[in-house]
Amino acid sequence: MVLWMIGLGLGDEGDISVKGLKAVQRSAFVYLEAYTSILPGLDRETLAAAYGVSEIIEADRELVESGCEEMLDRAKDNEVSFLVVGDPLCATTHTDLWLRARQKDIAVQVLHNASVMNAVASCGLQLYRFGETVSIPYWLDDWRPDSWYDKILKNKKAGLHTLCLLDIKVKEQTVENLMRGRKIYEPPRFMTVRQALDQLCKVEKDRQEGVAPSDAMCFGLARLGREDQVIRAGTVEKIAEVDFGGPLHSLVICAEELHELEQEFVDFYRQE
């Protein structure tokens, strides 16, 4: 039959499109991808009630990245909906799912929606002046990757802004529990703007290549697309002091030169 890949947007259960809602209500099985992003404060039961379906199945990292065979097998003979917070094709995992479905001759219908990739325009920086998007992961005691710093540096040299997506940890296991095969999961964690800037500044201190000196301009963003979204502009030093509240957070490192209209937005959102 068909696999529907449906974006839920960024706000709440009401952001699904009319076409998407109709597809969900027709589907024999509905899955909610539950690890690349979240809708804060909304669980599967709330969404199921809002969409008028009896059950929404959690699609965690293990289910999606291990092949999704159950979901794809069901989509051979049924309409199946795969719900994604934001847009359904912004994560590599989801484009891989699209390919696996087509390789099995399963029809795929994609219904797009707002995501951080376009909602970042709310801060007033022009979308066509953004370079490569980077992901900043949580550091561990023995694992401190900083390849994302090089990408921000490359963007800066090209006169481009950088959107930084901040790590989330949902249904994660410790190394010990993973090795012992114990299905024990750590509490969810969501990287904050402050934590991201702390890691960035530590790399800057070591490398001193001008990506994030204390007076570099940046934007801190929280809960984009929701009624309680927060947008603040300022220097790295100032934004690191801001409490942005609950998840999800994002960070933008500005190009060194701003368009005059962009500068007006910086002034409007400036954190003094």
- 3-state secondary structure (DSSP) of residue 167: coil
Q: Residues 233, 271: contact at Cβ < 8 Å? A: yes
| Residues in CB range of 233: below 8 A, 6 or more apart | 123, 217, 218, 219, 239, 265, 266, 267, 268, 269, 270, 271
Specify the pTM: 0.92
Q: Give the residue-averaged pLDDT of 121-125.
A: 97
How large a percentage of the chain has pLDDT more than 70? Answer: 94
Higher pLDDT, 59 or 209: 209
Beta pairing class for 162-166 and 249-253: antiparallel
Element holding 221 (H helix, E strand): strand 217-222
Distance (Å, whole) CA 170 – CA 62: 11
129 DSSP assignment: G
Of 222, 216, 52, nearest to 120 by C-alpha is 222
Which tokens hold the place of 216? Answer: 């570099």
Instruction: Judge whether residue 67 has pLDDT over 70.
Output: no
Which tokens hold the place of 12? Answer: 């709440």
Distance (Å, whole) CA 144 – CA 126: 31
Of 70, 62, 33, nearest to 181 by C-alpha is 62
Instruction: Judge whether residue 35 has pLDDT over 80.
Output: no
Distance (Å, whole) CA 176 – CA 173: 8
CA dihedral 103→35→168→200, nearest 10 degrees, is 10
Residue ranges in 38-114 assigned as alpha helix (H)? 44-51, 61-65, 69-75, 92-103
Which tokens hold the place of 48? Answer: 């199921």
pLDDT tier for residue 89 given thresholds of 50, 70 and 90: very high
The predicted-structure confidence for 100-120, as pLDDT tens digits, reads as follows 999 999 999 999 999 999 999
Interhelix angle 44-51/18-26, nearest 10 degrees: 100
Q: What is the pLDDT of residue 189?
A: 87
pLDDT tier for residue 175 given thresholds of 50, 70 and 90: low
Distance (Å, whole) CA 230 – CA 224: 7
**What number of residues does the chain have?**
272
Distance (Å, whole) CA 70 – CA 44: 19
